[in-house]
């Protein structure tokens, strides 16, 4: 506020201040606004049109909205609701309620955002600090729902539909699990073991497998035939009389051998399928744990920045 006279110059009216601030003896404290400072300044101006001085006194009233009400009624409930987002990464994927919990938290924040929009002034000149905080929390909740979808996709994958890439097994199931200190029953995830395993993979990639190993993998029938069995002449005569019986027995033995190989192959495929399914579930658990720590640090950092910001601090008495 500026007080002065354009009719009378300084030689006729001399405006002076008793003090360099406004007297606030009758001021009543407001529950919504905080009075920061009320300085008073005396100015003496000379204009080109007139040689006489013109005196004015400028009073500046500096007020600020109190933040205690918004802190306990908006920011603290928002922080508590956003903490529920972390529960989506702790809830097991098999329960089927991860996305429901995330969407419920997001809807709760949306309702609170509507309350904030009604309470803060409608302006486009600047964004209120509480609005920035709500925007950051809602972005976090939205990304958490997206990551939850990714986790559920990993958890419900099967070898019949998807083949696990080698980088998922190396980076997520091994090194990322080791970095997050996630243990897996029956598996050694120590750094020394992972380095040895990586060297073995490199060695297997450089060295071709042996012929016998290929024969075993492809189930090539390299059994010894009857004609290859060394026999003496008396044994050969005996063998001629029982050739038909031996051939029958050999056929039955080969049939049994093929059945055993089929059963062994089937059991091996089932074990590999179960192991790969467990690998997909373990990868989902590792991503869950990674998102839990990332969003925890993000939420704690955002809340501390809001509560420790200079504009959020209350000033008791600066006069």
Torsion sign across C-alpha atoms 14, 20, 21, 26: negative
Would you state the structure tokens that stand for residue 272, as one six-digit string? 């590999």
Q: What is the pLDDT of residue 20?
A: 80
pLDDT for residue 239 is more than 60: no
Summarize the confidence of residues 203-217 as an average pLDDT.
53
Residue 297's pLDDT band (cuts 50, 70, 90):
very high
The average pLDDT across 184-204 equals 69
Residue 6, pLDDT above cutoff 50:
yes
* Per-range mean pLDDT, top range of 46-60, 142-156, 271-285: 142-156
Q: What percentage of the chain carries pLDDT values higher than 90? A: 2
Higher-confidence residue of 134 and 224: namely: 134
Stated pTM of the model: 0.64
Confidence of residue 194 (pLDDT cuts 50, 70, 90): low
Nearest to 319, CA basis, from 74, 40, 112? 40
pLDDT value of residue 9: 81
pLDDT of residue 188: 64
Length of the chain: 319
Q: What is the pLDDT of residue 223?
A: 45
Q: List the single range of 23-27, 232-236, 278-282 with lowest mean pLDDT.
A: 232-236
> Between 98-119 and 76-90, two packed helices, what is the crossing angle to 10 degrees?
170
d(CA 302, CA 78): 12
Query: In terms of pLDDT, which residue wins out, 226 or 18?
Result: 18
Task: Compute the distance between CA of residue 57 and CA of residue 157 in angstroms, rounded to an integer.
Answer: 77
42 and 55 Cβ atoms separated by less than 8 Å: yes
Task: Kindly tell me if the per-residue pLDDT of 211 is higher than 60.
Answer: no
Q: Model confidence at 311, in pLDDT bands (50, 70, 90)? A: low
Under the banding of pLDDT at 50, 70 and 90, the label for residue 251 is confident
In the structure, what pLDDT confidence band is assigned to residue 294 with cuts at 50, 70 and 90?
A: very high
Task: Indicate whether 215 pLDDT > 70.
Answer: no
What are the tens digits of pLDDT across the range 254-286? Answer: 777 878 888 888 888 777 788 888 888 888 888
Tens digit of each residue's pLDDT (9 = 90 or more) over 78-112: 888 888 888 888 888 877 788 888 888 888 888 88
């Amino acid at each position: 506020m500026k007080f002065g006279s354009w009719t009378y110059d300084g030689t006729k009216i001399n405006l002076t201040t008793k003090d360099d601030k406004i007297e606030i003896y009758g001021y009543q404290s407001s529950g919504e606004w905080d009075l920061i400072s009320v300085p008073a300044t005396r100015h003496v101006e000379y204009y080109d049109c007139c040689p006489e001085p013109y005196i004015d006194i400028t009073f500046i009233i500096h007020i600020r909205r109190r933040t205690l009400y918004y802190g306990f009624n908006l920011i603290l409930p928002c922080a508590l609701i956003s903490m529920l987002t972390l529960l989506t990464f702790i809830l097991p994927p098999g329960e089927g309620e991860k996305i429901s919990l995330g969407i419920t938290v997001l809807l709760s924040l949306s309702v609170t955002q509507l309350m904030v929009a009604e309470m803060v002034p409608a302006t486009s000149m600047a964004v209120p600090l509480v609005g920035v905080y709500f925007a950051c929390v809602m972005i976090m909740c939205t990304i958490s729902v997206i990551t939850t979808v990714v986790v559920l996709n990993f958890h419900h994958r099967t070898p019949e539909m998807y083949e696990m890439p080698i980088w998922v097994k190396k980076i997520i199931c091994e090194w990322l699990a080791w970095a997050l200190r996630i243990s897996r029953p029956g598996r050694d995830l120590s750094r020394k073991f992972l380095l040895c395993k990586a060297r073995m993979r490199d060695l297997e990639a450089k060295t071709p497998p042996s012929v016998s190993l290929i024969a075993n993998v492809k189930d090539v029938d390299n059994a010894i035939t009857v004609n290859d069995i060394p026999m003496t002449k008396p044994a050969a005569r005996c063998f001629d009389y029982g050739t038909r019986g031996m051939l029958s027995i050999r056929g039955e033995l080969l049939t049994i051998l093929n059945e055993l190989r089929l059963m062994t192959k089937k059991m091996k495929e089932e074990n590999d399928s179960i192991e790969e399914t467990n690998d997909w579930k373990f990868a989902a658990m590792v991503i869950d744990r990674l998102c839990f720590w990332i969003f925890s640090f993000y939420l704690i950092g955002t809340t501390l920045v809001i509560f420790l910001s200079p504009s959020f601090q209350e000033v008791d008495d600066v006069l």
